[in-house]
Amino acid sequence: MTTTTPTGVLRPGRRLWAVLAALFAVALCLAALPGASPAHADDLDDQRRAAEKKQRENDKELEQLEHDLEEISEDLADAVIALKKIEQKLPDAQAALADAQAAYAKAKREVKALEDRLEAQERTETGLVERIEEDEARSVEVRANVGALARQAMKGDLSTSSLAIMLDAADPQEYVQQSGLVTTALRSQTQLLDQLAQTDAANRNAKVRLEAVRERIAELRADAVVKQKEANEHRKKAQARGVEVRTLIDDQKAKTAFIQSRKDEMEAKEEQLKRDRESLESDLKEIIKKQKARDKKKKDKKAGPVGSGIFQNPSSYNPMYITSMYGWRQHPVLGYPRLHAGIDLRAYCGVKILAGRKGEVVWAKYRSGYGNQVLVDHGEINGNYVMSSYNHLQGFNVSAGQKVSGGDVVGYSGSTGTSTACHLHFEVYINGATVDPYPYL
């Protein structure tokens, strides 16, 4: 019979079609992606696949946890599931906080670097302004000196010829002195003109540089405003991430404290479930003992293999969907191993639950943690006594002693007993002991 496991993987017959459909869906998604460079696209694909894989793992973990908690009170189960969700979210939230803090620290460093460069440019600007003012003052002074020399020349003080100086001189020594003074004055005039030209050229260069520096200052100030805005945004994100992490940690502590406060209750329920299991096994052994006494006149037959596929789907869904398998698992809170003695099948509240094989109803009654239970005796199969039970039912459709055939309605799905949601808990017993029902379906 085709069945579906908790992860949704179909058994042979449908698995190939499911794989092909999944590959086709992935191909369509990839074809619809916008164009990007191969390396960038590969990185994005890897990130997407990693995120999707993690989400699937988290969902599967939560689904399994929900089934493991079916024997715990609803408020406690909700707390355990909430705690698990917190534990799943917390690493990502902490990583996001670290990223936000790193981005904020980087933005602050960039703002500081811009401020340092801006300060350096402003110092350069101040220096250039002071230099230009000094050069302009010097230029004014030089121009005044040049003007004075020019006025003297116009009056003739500097234009006297060498012959006039010689004729006016009282003696040769005076001639030399007068001639030297005129030469020095002319040289000074030339030097002042050269100095004026150099000062004006340096001043023009300084003004050009000053303009460039002021443009750079304006750019740095604009960049600093933008970068400061970015830093503020990163700071807000870091603060928000910090609040999220602190809230998760506070919730984690509160849920953990609540769960620990109910530990005694959970241990008591586990003990009750253990007693329920022992009571059921005792009843089954008593039934088998009576069956053997009834069949004592028959020739003893050595037990052989029961065979696979002796039960049909007991749920109303085709294919049936198994939400929790048979086997040992760790208690989600108490931490010690316990046996899940059957399989859980998807069965929403009120749907029909079917007999998996012909037999006789041993009882249809409430049995503590099992809730409303129907036990069906299927008689002897190759020397083995085989029975099955249908648990947590909402209501019965059969009664003790009634004969049923495979597919007959024995009851309706519910959530009675230690169950937190409607489903069918199906158990199979061979010679009074529970076995994994899956191979027999």
Q: Which amino acid, 334? A: L
Is there a contact between 301 and 379 (Cβ–Cβ < 8 Å)? no
pLDDT value at residue 145:
75
Three-state DSSP state, 414: strand
Task: Report whether the peptide linkage leading into residue 314 is cis, meaning its omega lies within 30 degrees of zero.
Answer: no
- Is pLDDT of 283 > 70? yes
* Domain ranges across the chain: 93-163+194-260, 264-440
Cα–Cα distance between 121 and 224 in angstroms, integer? 13
> By mean pLDDT, which of 139-153, 324-338, 362-376, 383-397 is the weakest?
139-153
Residue percentage of the chain with pLDDT more than 90: 41
CA distances from 332 to 15, 62, 79, 392, 422 (A): 31, 11, 12, 21, 20
Chain center to CA of 63: 19
Paired sense of beta strands 403-404 and 359-366, if any? antiparallel
With 90 as the cut, is the pLDDT of residue 345 above it?
yes
Distance between CA atoms of residues 174 and 181, nearest Å:
11
Q: What is the pLDDT of residue 207?
A: 87
Whether 81 has a pLDDT exceeding 60, the answer reads yes
- Using the predicted structure, report yes or no on whether residue 206 has a pLDDT greater than 70: yes
Average pLDDT of every residue of the chain: 80
State the pLDDT confidence band at 194, using cuts at 50, 70 and 90: confident
Any idea what DSSP says for residue 393?
E
pLDDT digits (tens, 9 = 90+) for 91-106: 999 999 999 999 999 9
> Rounded mean pLDDT of 143-152?
72
Residue type at position 158: L
Q: Mean of the pLDDT values across residues 176-198?
A: 65
* Range picked from 48-52, 272-276, 377-381 for highest mean pLDDT: 377-381
Q: What angle do CA 82, 86, 91 make, to 5 degrees?
A: 165
Angle between helices 74-155 and 172-261 (to 10 degrees): 170
Residue 119: partners with Cβ closer than 8 Å, 6 or more residues away: none
Among 149-153, 209-213, 341-345, the range scoring the smallest mean pLDDT is: 149-153
Closest CA to 99 of 244, 253, 248, 226: 244
Which of 157-161, 169-173, 209-213, 263-267 comes out lowest in average pLDDT? 157-161
354 or 185: which leads in pLDDT:
354
264-440, CATH topology level: Glucose Permease (Domain IIA) (2.70.70)
**401 Rama sector, left if φ>0, alpha if ψ -120 to 50, beta otherwise:** left
So what's the pLDDT on residue 15?
39
Q: Are 146 and 196 in contact (CB under 8 A)?
A: yes
| pLDDT bracket for residue 156 (50, 70, 90) | low
Write the pLDDT tens digit of every residue in 223-254. Answer: 999 999 999 999 999 999 999 999 999 999 99
What is the per-residue pLDDT for 225?
92
Are 139 and 203 in contact by the 8 Å Cβ rule? The answer is yes
Band of pLDDT at residue 37, cut at 50, 70 and 90: low
Torsional sign, CA 136, 140, 145, 146: positive
